[in-house]
Amino acid sequence: MKRKIEDMETIVWQTPANPPERHDYIFRDGIRYVKPYYFEFISHVKNRWAGKTIVDLFSEEFKGRPRDYYVSAVKAGRIQVDGQEVPVSYVVQSSQKISHFLHRHEPPVMAWDVEVLCKEPEVLTVCKPASLPVHPCGQYRKNTVLGILQAEYGLAPLFPIHRLDRLVSGLLILARSSSRADIFRQQIESGRVQKQYIARVLGVFPEDEQVVNANVNYNAREGRSTVEVGDNNVNGNDPVKGKAACTKFTRICTNGQHSIVLCQPITGRTHQIRVHLQYTGHPIANDMLYLSEYIPRSATGMSADRAAAKSGHSLKPTDIEGAAAESDSGPNEDFSIDPMCTNCPNLAPKGYDGDEEGLWLHCVKYSGPDWTYECPCPVWASLS
């Protein structure tokens, strides 16, 4: 027991208060990795967890690791309740604080630079690369736009005033104060902000402007949206599901196989542009989530991960658990191996092989009452 406590005391544990630093990153084969680090994950016992043993709770609720690991972690003091070590038979009670001291491996992202476009006293705009989340979420913390801007440019705090999906690239506007962020958000919520994206879609998109007014219903479990159309319970039919959504589409050019389309979302629903383009019969040409099943992968042209690699960016040398499946990132000498870690000796956590994908969907412009910010177009937007 004494040796176990001494080992715990020699580890430097990080919390969200520890800012990312430049030396936290490892670059390999065009991929940005985060050097694994020790982190205290904190959660509180939910009512439905109460009455379970600490080991049963973890093995049933966080299935990314085997039961034997949780038994060992409790015995080693790496899982604690209210700051105290407990036996494997300990029964948890509602609202108790649970700490899981873990050797954290973050998922890899493409190693494209986060390019600063405009730096003003109250506003920062950047070109977000595909594969990179905007802010900490899930297993991502340092491998985020906010983390990289803090580590490489010393820019913090920053307040994103809109969001881009992880696989989407382009303009990202960040306020440098909470008061400025509130002004932006009020303008967006009142409909005074116009948004423009470009997408590369399958087929010859119609020459005339297309307006899609169709509800978007997002299924969080499946991670995808569907378009719902109908008569909103007229004549006794079932009401249309989802949220009202509208997008305007204008063809920019076409080569007969693909088209470049200007997308102007009037609303902001999850995956709205992607699912509305699918609804028109012209899905994003490398969007495997929304491509019709009968279209063979080879027909989409370039694969999504290679599309991200050609997006025009420059290359530079809080729940608890993850998913399953081996990573092929291989043993690494740039960090210390933790004998209890279920991800070591690989850099990436299980389930991530570094083959990140980026969509042919790019945010190019946001305009407000007295401001406009723009982002250059990516290479894939040229059909020549």
378: its two tokens = 């990516």
Residues of the chain falling short of pLDDT 50: 1-3, 5-6, 233-234, 236, 294, 296-331
Q: What pTM did the predictor assign?
A: 0.82
Catalytic residue among 165, 238, 338, 353: 165
The model's pLDDT over 64-118, given as tens digits with 9 standing for 90+, comes to 889 999 999 999 999 999 999 999 999 999 999 999 999 999 999 999 999 999 9
| Residues present in the chain in total | 384
Q: What is the domain partition of the chain in residue ranges?
A: 2-104, 109-315+355-381
Percent helix, strand and coil across the chain, each rounded to 5?
A: 20, 30, 50
Residue 183 · residue 177 · CB < 8 Å: no
Residue 34 · residue 139 · CB < 8 Å: no
Please state which CATH number belongs to domain 109-315+355-381: 3.30.2350.10
Q: How many angstroms separate the CA atoms of 29 and 267, rounded?
A: 39
Burial of residue 96 (CB within 10 Å: 0-12, 13-18, 19+) is middle
Q: How many angstroms separate the CA atoms of 170 and 322, rounded?
A: 28
Q: Which amino acid is at 92?
A: V
Rounding to the nearest 10 degrees, give the CA dihedral for residues 146, 152, 154, 158.
-20
DSSP calls for 213-279? E-EEEEETTTTEEEEE-S-TTGGGPPPPPSB--EEEEEEEEE-SSEEEEEEEESS--TTHHHHHHHH
165 tagged catalytic: yes
The separation between the first and the last C-alpha atoms of the chain, rounded to the nearest angstrom, is 68
Tokens 């050797």: give the residue: 103
Tokens 């990795």: give the residue: 33
Q: How many angstroms separate the CA atoms of 81 and 99, rounded?
A: 6
Q: Which amino acid is at 310?
A: K
Q: 190 - beta bridge partners?
A: none
Helix (H, G, I), strand (E, B) or coil at 19: coil
Residue 20 · residue 335 · CB < 8 Å: no
**What is the reported pLDDT for 332?**
56
349: its two tokens = 């956590």
Strand pairing class (372-374; 246-254)? unpaired
**What is the reported pLDDT for 8?**
56
What's domain 2-104's superfamily in CATH?
A: RNA-binding S4 domain (3.10.290.10)
Strand pairing class (169-175; 159-160)? antiparallel
Sheet of 37-44, strand order:
37-44, 97-104, 79-81, 84-85
Q: How many angstroms separate the CA atoms of 132 and 124, rounded?
A: 18
